[in-house]
Structure 1
Amino acid sequence: MNARPPVSDNLRGAGLMMLSMAAFTFNDTAIKALGDSVPLAQAIFLRGMMSTALIYLAARRMGAIRLRLPRRDWALIAVRSLADIGATFLFLAALMRMPLANLTAILQALPLTVSLAAALIFGEPLGWRRLAAIAIGFLGVMLIVRPGPEGFDLHALFALGAVGFVTIRDLAARRLSPATPSVTVALVGAAAIMLASGVITAFDGWHPVARPDLGLLALAAVFVFAGYLSSVMTMRVGEIGLVAPFRYTGLIWALFMGWLVFGDWPTPLTLLGAGIVVATGLFTLYRERALTRARRRNAAQG
């Protein structure tokens, strides 16, 4: 009997990326299913307690907790954590009032915003092709948001704000030292979100939580943990240029779960906008991969 061929790192990385996107979408679905039964800050706090505990246990098991870091890295972790707090609150506030697929489609603009911000802030090279793709991608976002008197949804501003905060979060993570464990960074971020939501809950007062709602929050915490763990593992296997495009499978999951659980289906204009955002994002990732390979060849030859 012939032995099975080994699974390539790129194939394993693609599978982990798809698992991560599915887990995060299932988390969003569980939180959205809560509706108004639990105040937002309290829901984030309860989910944060459970997810932080799970991340801590995983980090301990991996031996990846490292608190003696350079001051520069701690400053970047602080910026990342603050941005994560803002992104979490704005994203979940939008999630409670927007169709899941619409919100997820707006978030697909992240590769575009990160590339643009990295060029503006850090001076990373950005050719005219990627610049054109970013501009077209933002037009796709406008088709989803529809900033007109009839189609504009105020909660879409929260979604755009979340994209801005996630962009800051990702740029801060880019500048961290390679020796800083990703699990430590995530643990600090999760704890910061839990503490911030706990402070707000203390001022708002505690509301009783029914067992079904507590079950949904526990489910969300497990999915957040699974999504995080698989996303960290994704960064450790395969070429990022080949694995990263599979993050767009999150939109497929959002379309399916939005239809199955909430009976939502985007309008043709929203689907067109989502298609434009995904296409330009994929092109941006392709160009970044090509430029990275070219720089490596030049470095090897030089």
Structure 2
Amino acid sequence: MNRATLVGCGAILLWAFLGVLARLAAGVPPLQLTALSMAVGGLLGLGVVAARGSLGLLRQEKRAWAHGVGGLFGYHALYFAALALAPAVEANLLNYLWPLLIVLLSGLLLGMPLGGRRLLGVALGFAGCALLVGGGARFPAGALPGFLCAVAGAVVWATYSVTARRLARVPTEAVAGFCLVSALLAGALHLAFEVTVWPDARQALAILLLGLGPVGSAFFLWDLGMKRGDPRLLGTLAYSIPVLSTLLLVAAGEGRADERVLIAALLVAGGGILASWQRPRRLPA
């Protein structure tokens, strides 16, 4: 595993806390939460870029801005909406279709070989998601829009992650600008469509932690990993997030880890482990 791929793994660890921190901010409308958390993350990134004297790297072509803002804003607005509209544990697990979609899209869009083992791992992941929402599972009325948001967010993030490979010349520092523009876009849409909620101490802490971690530094780590590391390996290793994230949500009292949820999480994670497994190379004698 090269250094860039290892850096991308840091983002995976941070994203395990995305769900529980989002639920900690429950009550703040999705677009407002997107705007505030991304503003924190963007300002953090801007400070780092300024300290390095690299503000000039924020000047990028329109295609790069459309890709960056579309991916960051689209994913997080959909994810926060999913957790607000549907049961947190199930919506969170459905959202983690994105790692297996990265594996598939890496083959379809980048021409990277998949192989039978990776495809079998992807199939196990899909089976876990099917078990999660099927098999007689009961959900509150109105949960369907939240589940659709979770799946749509997965598609957006997988597409953003894989196509980042084609924009490898765009420096990671530019992500700070993408975050700030995403925050402005989310803020404008919030003012147009939502009622503002002033965060209390708990919600404010959650927003700060989101901006510093999963919605902040994780972007930079992931961008570097996807552009210079192995997107197939990162996509499959990201299957560890559903189990960790689900356990954190359950520990926070945001859901119940019944038999169906546990089996679904293990199928998703197990599929990722199978898909990412590589035979060790023999050293020359």
The two structures share one fold, judged by TM-score above 0.5: yes
Equivalent residue for 1:96? Answer: 84
Unmatched 5+ residue regions in structure 1? 1-7, 294-302
Q: Indicate if the aligned counterparts of 2:125 and 2:271 stay in contact, CA closer than 8 A.
A: yes
Shift in alpha-carbon separation, 1:159–1:239, aligned structure 2, 3 A? closer
Shift of 1:148: 5.8
- 1:35 aligns to what SS in structure 2? coil
**What is the identity, as a one-letter code, of the residue corresponding to 1:132?**
L
Unmatched 5+ residue regions in structure 2? none
1:199 to 173, 188, 208: 188
Q: Indicate if the aligned counterparts of 2:38 and 2:182 stay in contact, CA closer than 8 A.
A: yes
Equivalent residue for 1:258? Answer: 249
Q: In the alignment, does 2:174 pair up with 1:180?
A: no
Question: 1:109-134 CA distances to partner (integer Å, 9 max, x unpaired)?
Answer: 32321222233344443334433332
Equivalent residue for 1:84? Answer: 72
Equivalent residue for 2:93? Answer: 105
**What is the rounded CA distance, in whole Å, between the counterparts of 2:91 and 2:274 in structure 1?**
21
Shift of 1:175: 0.7
Larger radius of gyration: 1
Question: 1:171-209 CA distances to partner (integer Å, 9 max, x unpaired)?
Answer: 2201113x421121x223312321221111232466351
Root mean square deviation of aligned Cα:
3.7
- 1:180 aligns to what SS in structure 2? coil
**What is the rounded CA distance, in whole Å, between the counterparts of 1:53 and 1:216 in structure 2?**
16
**What is the rounded CA distance, in whole Å, between the counterparts of 1:150 and 1:86 in structure 2?**
28
1:61 to 51, 62, 70: 51
Q: Indicate if the aligned counterparts of 1:110 and 1:167 stay in contact, CA closer than 8 A.
A: yes
**What is the rounded CA distance, in whole Å, between the counterparts of 2:131 and 2:177 in structure 1?**
36
Instruction: Using structure 1 for the length normalisation, give the TM-score.
Output: 0.74
Shift of 1:226: 3.8
Moved more, 153-162 or 199-208: 199-208
**What is the rounded CA distance, in whole Å, between the counterparts of 1:120 and 1:60 in structure 2?**
38
In the TM superposition, 1:88-167 aligns within 5 A as 88-146=76-134, 150=138, 153-154=143-144, 155-167=146-158
**What is the rounded CA distance, in whole Å, between the counterparts of 1:236 and 1:76 in structure 2?**
13
Equivalent residue for 1:32? Answer: 23
**What is the identity, as a one-letter code, of the residue corresponding to 1:126?**
L
Q: In the alignment, does 2:265 pair up with 1:277?
A: no
**What is the rounded CA distance, in whole Å, between the counterparts of 1:64 and 1:20 in structure 2?**
22
**What is the rounded CA distance, in whole Å, between the counterparts of 1:261 and 1:58 in structure 2?**
32
Aligned length: 277
Q: Indicate if the aligned counterparts of 2:164 and 2:227 stay in contact, CA closer than 8 A.
A: no
**What is the rounded CA distance, in whole Å, between the counterparts of 1:207 and 1:253 in structure 2?**
32
What percent identity do the matched residue pairs reach?
Answer: 20
Shift of 1:13: 7.0
Question: 1:72-95 CA distances to partner (integer Å, 9 max, x unpaired)?
Answer: xx4144134213322111111112
